[in-house]
Amino acid sequence: MAKKAKFFKNGIWYWLFIAPTLLSLIIVVLIPFIIGIYYSFTDWNGINQPVFIGLKNFMTLRDDAEFWNSIIFTAKFAVACIVIINVVGLSLAMLVTRKIFARNFMRTAFYLPNLIGGLILGFIWNFIFVDVFQTISDATHIGWLGGWLSTTNTGFWGLVIVTSWQMIGYVMVIYIAYIESIPTDLIEASKIDGANSWQQFRNVVFPLIAPAFTVSLFITLSNSFKLFDQNLSLTAGAPGNTTQMITLNIYQTAFSAQEMAVGQAKAVIMFLIIAVISVIQVYLTQKREVEM
């Protein structure tokens, strides 16, 4: 009886503590998500009374070449960002966890770009790419520095550079947390056994920070597919919407073309793509953790 009363009392405190977060999640995320799915099956334009039209919005997307191009562009962008952010982030984490001069200053400096908002960051780098690069190109006659963001290729790499510059510091912190949790006894033992720096990293550090890869890959993958503000402020889809990412395409469909229901149908497809890829990625990386 006493155990039951204690369990009941603990249960009440448990639900009281999580109630604000749970309620916020339901109101801000779950309910709008369900309503959004319903709107994707209607003819709602933001003003009229929505009428259920079945799969018509999804069927019209089959011939929307701009939408599918934005998905392909986003997928390429995500692959480039995942590789660059994680390789550079891990390299910086290995560097600043060593006993070197000013390592705390370097940690702060590498993390600072993550504190700048995406829109502001996009406008800053837009000035650098368009004005600063062009000025240097004119003065030095280096051709590849001129005309940045005026082509699909330079627009793509401009987005990759800005996003990587912002997120590398965040991912670096995740890797630092796992690297510093490795027992020093293991590192010392590997040194005594004659392992060089690469062998220590490959056989000791890398397997023990495997969970960090699961977290970092998931974060970079989901953020790359959801990127909007940098795309809007840096290229706005130019030239000719060839650098338009999937989120910007949804935004323009819903708010510029006033086709809210079609935009919502695109958002549902985007959600399914991110959910499927994320589940596969988490499954494969966790399986890899066990094998290590």
pLDDT (average), residues 119-130: 90
Element (H, E) at 142: none
Identify the band that residue 247 occupies on the pLDDT scale cut at 50, 70 and 90. very high
Residue 173's pLDDT is 95
Q: What is the pTM of this model?
A: 0.87
Q: Which of 242, 226, 215, 271 is nearest to 86 (CA)?
A: 215
> Above 80 in pLDDT, residue 2?
no
What ranges in 26-64 are assigned the alpha helix state H? 31-39, 56-60
Q: Which of 287, 262, 283, 280 is nearest to 40 (CA)?
A: 262
- Provide the residue type at 30 as one letter: L
Report the chain's mean pLDDT, rounded to a whole number: 89
Q: Using one digit for the tens of pLDDT, what is the confidence trace for 170-220?
A: 999 999 999 999 888 888 888 888 888 888 888 888 888 888 988 999 899
More confident residue, 111 or 187: 111
> Above 70 in pLDDT, residue 9?
no
Identify the band that residue 278 occupies on the pLDDT scale cut at 50, 70 and 90. confident
Q: Which of 266, 73, 75 is nearest to 257 (CA)?
A: 266
Q: Which of 157, 167, 166, 199 is nearest to 86 (CA)?
A: 167
Token pair, residue 80, equals 């480039």
Residue 28's pLDDT is 94
Identify the band that residue 289 occupies on the pLDDT scale cut at 50, 70 and 90. low
Token pair, residue 79, equals 């692959």
Q: Using one digit for the tens of pLDDT, what is the confidence trace for 158-168?
A: 999 999 999 99
Residue 42's pLDDT is 94
Phi/psi of residue 274, nearest 5 degrees: -65, -40
DSSP sequence for 221-268 = HHHHHH--HHHHHHTTT-STTTT--HHHHHHIIIIIS--HHHHHHHHH
Q: What residues contact 251, with CB distance under 8 A and at least 6 apart?
A: 228, 232, 263
Identify the band that residue 5 occupies on the pLDDT scale cut at 50, 70 and 90. low
pLDDT (average), residues 115-136: 90
More confident residue, 7 or 226: 226
Contact indicator for 186, 104 with CB cutoff of 8 Å: no
> Above 90 in pLDDT, residue 72?
yes
> Above 80 in pLDDT, residue 107?
yes
Residue 237's pLDDT is 87
Give me the long-range contacts of 105-110 (CB less than 8 A, separation at least 24).
107/172, 107/173, 107/176, 110/168, 110/169, 110/172
Domains of the chain: 41-287 (1.10.3720.10)
Q: Is the peptide bond before 207 cis (omega within 30 degrees of 0)?
A: no
**Bridge partners for 257 per DSSP:** none
Task: Report helix, strand and coil shares of the chain as percent, to nearest 5.
Answer: 80, 0, 20
